[in-house]
Amino acid sequence: MGTYETVKNRILQLCEEKRFTIHKLATESGVAPSTIKNILYGKSRNPGVVTIKMLCDGFGISLDEFFHTDTFALLEQEIQ
Closest residue by Cα to residue 52 from 37, 34, 67, 33: 67
Q: What is the pLDDT of residues 6-30, one digit of tens each?
A: 999 999 999 999 999 999 999 999 9
Q: What is the pLDDT of residues 21-64, one digit of tens each?
A: 999 999 999 999 999 999 999 999 899 999 999 999 999 999 99
Burial class (CB in 10 A: 0-12, 13-18, 19+), 50: exposed
Per-residue model confidence (pLDDT) at position 10: 98
Q: What is the CA radius of gyration of the chain?
A: 12
Is 75:9 a contact under the CB 8 Å cutoff? no
Q: Which fold has domain 3-73?
A: 434 Repressor (Amino-terminal Domain) (1.10.260)
- 56 residue type, one letter: C
Q: How far is CA 32 from the centre of its chain?
A: 13
